[in-house]
Structure 1
Amino acid sequence: MRWVLPDFIQDALPDEAADIERLRRLMLDAFRVRGYRLVQPPLLEYLDSLTTGAGQDLKLRTFKLVDQLSGRTMGVRADMTPQVARIDAHLLNQAGVARLCYCGSVLHALPSSLTATREPIQLGAELYGHVGIDADAEMIRLLADVMALAEVPAERIDVGHVGLFRALAAGAGLAPEREEALFDLLQSKDVPGLAEVLDGVAEPQRSALLALPRLYGGREVLGRAAEVLPRLPEVRAALAELSRLAGMLQDLPLSFDLADLRGYHYHSGAVFAAYAGGSPAALALGGRYDAVGEAFGRGRPATGFSLDLRRFASRGARAPARGAILAPMKGDPALAEAVAALRADGEIVVTELPGHAGTWKAAGCDRQLISGGDGWTVAPLSEER
């Protein structure tokens, strides 16, 4: 059956494709007027470039193949963020702040969930060269702005900080494999499993790590965290950054989840996830990742976010279908001029072809160009058409 596609791979039919394209233009224009410049990385790169600094998860999601020219292992991008970091570090190589954005298909060897596609259309924005929390605040606000433009306003934006876990895990002296197990248990908020893994860990790190899954809610969570977590310099710095974010973004639906460590191997500071449209899964993910550029010879502070346009198109309000205007096939200069003027105004004008099977209404037309005393004018499509 040649028409059957692989599992978790789908076509985008006209209505969905139109919504995806509308959202792409809307969001990229929103980035552009805020100073974010568009880049277009290649679909294929050498594998070590695509997966640098991103941890085992991205390596497992990347399709691999052998380059017939060089004999080296290549990969089909599963995430565009490392590519944009390479562009900033190695190609642009500019001093100071750089704002970049991107949009394109990525391919996953495995779906992220039972309902996810293996070919997301990833759109994102990245800010390089600023280490302060102001840059993180800009990214979260930008995300909220484009979600509102897409008519999928953020209902909740969960914020966490990878630095908290790093400081506590380092103080506990955990071996790498034990730290990995701890990370997985924190993500699932498995408190009994945490207690088992933390058996033998000294205080106060043990109690602090056990407290992380309960540190979830509004701004008051930061106060509770300051009381129950050890007063390590890294912990105090992370909580201070989160408190500043809460103050700078009081008009946004921020919540705090100090056990949310998505991208732990990749991120280095504040992380965030946006939820909307009744979806149990986050519609957008972001955070700070200061170390990724080092693999490309120029480590730069960086923060950003990305989302899948396919998921947004399925959640947002569908744009009303715009009917087309049917134009007769005639070699009339006045008709050609009328058609050109309508198309310049954004109208859809299709030319009537001879031998058309079916009705023009079924083909999407609801109006027609007719000739009269005033030249060519638009009129409702007659019933028999």
Structure 2
Amino acid sequence: MPNWLLPENIADVLPSEARKIEELRRLMLDNFRLYGYELVMPPMLEYLESLLTGAGEDTDLRTFKLVDQLSGRMLGLRADMTTQVARIDAHLLNRASVTRLCYAGSVLHTRPSGLHATREPLQIGAEIYGHAGLEADAEIQELALASLALAGFTSARLDLSHVGVLRAITEGDAAATRDAAQIVQLLRAKDVPGLQALTRDYTPVVRDALLALPSLYGSVEVLGRARAVLPDLPGISKALAELAALAASALGRAEVAIDLADLRGYQYESGAMFALYVPGLPNAVARGGRYDHVGEAFGRARPATGFSLDLRELARLLPTAERKHSIRAPWGNAPELKEKIAELRKSGEVVIQSLPGHSNELDEFECDRALVLDDNGSNWILKNLG
């Protein structure tokens, strides 16, 4: 095997693509700051029990594990940064008031999440801690849509769901509670025959409600159908009311859809969830939701909601970045030349000095001007190269 080959679903990012990703990262982090979010940088490596605290089984399966040479304990390479940021809020900051945090960094997955997906996503996201009301959910939802708009996606679809619907349905049936993980898998796949087989011995009310969930997707009118066909339980009524409020807050900024069977993250989510879709990508480009119980796993119960997306996947959808106009300059140590180059760079110009005996091969820059001496050989001036 050639020594330059990389593992499957791991790839280098070349200059033009890297610039797109980095510019997106800066735009989004700067925008988070305008909303009052503070940047944190969790470590790539943690003790396994800390990294997986409050996380679901999916995160455990996606996490690379190794033995620490210093302590002999098991370590994990982070597969998601959400629980790390929750740990920072719970134990390091330990604030009593509302806390807004954001982050950006690589995560590693043992297996790709989908066809052609990378195993090293560049995750960026934002979280609000300390407020249990829908105002926090609405702000996170708005921030996620604003992030896509910064990337140039003005037409996005917002899919809403709520774990409270399923939990309210199953809590009255011991068998359904026991089979919750399997029910979620069948609902996400909209596997009605499988759901019929699994729920055969459930109480009729629970069985009928579960079998109705796969068909409860579409426009906001789905909420009216859900109220008509689902049991009149306080948990269901509360969840549907919250979804209606969040759908109303997003109107005008995105196409809004409801899917009561889309329960990705059911194991650690605790309320309303959303997924964002953009043209050109079949999978959700961003996901978010409420996860109040993750902080509790760190010993400090704290309301929490947030979202994250993969910058590398998002950048793939964008057109190739235009080459930046730049200036070609000769190599030399003359004080006048160095002063002129420094002056141009200070003004924001890209100045590339040609090393002796070499031409420049560039993906990102196009030298449309050159720094040359004037006819008198006394002043450095810019010459258009045409």
Matched, 1:185 2:186: yes
Change (3 A) 1:320 1:207: same
**Cα deviations by residue, 1:93-135 (Å, 9 ceiling, x for unpaired):** 0112100000000000111112110000000000100101111
Structure 2 unaligned segments of length 5 or more: list them. none
- What one-letter code is carried by the residue in structure 2 that aligns with 1:143? A
Distance 2:245 2:206 in 1: 25
Judge conservation of contact 1:47–1:64 (CA < 8 Å) in 2. Answer: yes
Residue matched to 2:268: 266
CA positional deviation for 1:319: 2.8
Which of 279, 294, 303 is equivalent to 2:281?
279
Judge conservation of contact 2:170–2:177 (CA < 8 Å) in 1. Answer: no
Task: Look up the SS of the partner of 1:171 in the other structure.
Answer: coil
Residue matched to 2:338: 336
CA positional deviation for 1:364: 4.4
Distance 1:282 1:379 in 2: 48
Residue matched to 1:6: 7
Structure 1 unaligned segments of length 5 or more: list them. none
Runs of 4+ in 1 over 4 A off after TM superposition: 358-364
**Cα deviations by residue, 1:222-261 (Å, 9 ceiling, x for unpaired):** 1111111111111111011111112222213211111110
Percent of aligned positions that are identical: 56
Which of 335, 351, 354 is equivalent to 1:352?
354
Task: Look up the SS of the partner of 2:175 in the other structure.
Answer: coil
Judge conservation of contact 1:152–1:312 (CA < 8 Å) in 2. Answer: no
* TM-score, normalised by the number of residues in structure 1: 0.95
**Cα deviations by residue, 1:190-233 (Å, 9 ceiling, x for unpaired):** 11111111102112211111111111111111111111111111
Change (3 A) 1:247 1:69: same
**Cα deviations by residue, 1:341-360 (Å, 9 ceiling, x for unpaired):** 2212322111121121x466
Trace 1:165-314 onto structure 2 (pairs within 5 A): 165-174=166-175, 178-251=179-252, 252-314=254-316
Distance 1:198 1:280 in 2: 30
Higher deviation after alignment, 369-378 or 275-284: 369-378
Judge conservation of contact 1:127–1:303 (CA < 8 Å) in 2. Answer: yes
- What one-letter code is carried by the residue in structure 2 that aligns with 1:87? I
Matched, 1:25 2:29: no
Distance 2:385 2:149 in 1: 36
- What one-letter code is carried by the residue in structure 1 that aligns with 2:342? A
Judge conservation of contact 2:223–2:240 (CA < 8 Å) in 1. Answer: yes
Trace 1:107-126 onto structure 2 (pairs within 5 A): 107-126=108-127
Task: Look up the SS of the partner of 2:373 in the other structure.
Answer: strand
Distance 2:99 2:122 in 1: 23
- What one-letter code is carried by the residue in structure 2 that aligns with 1:66? V
CA positional deviation for 1:13: 0.3
Q: RMSD of the TM alignment (CA)?
A: 1.7
Between Structure 1 and Structure 2, how many residues are aligned?
A: 381
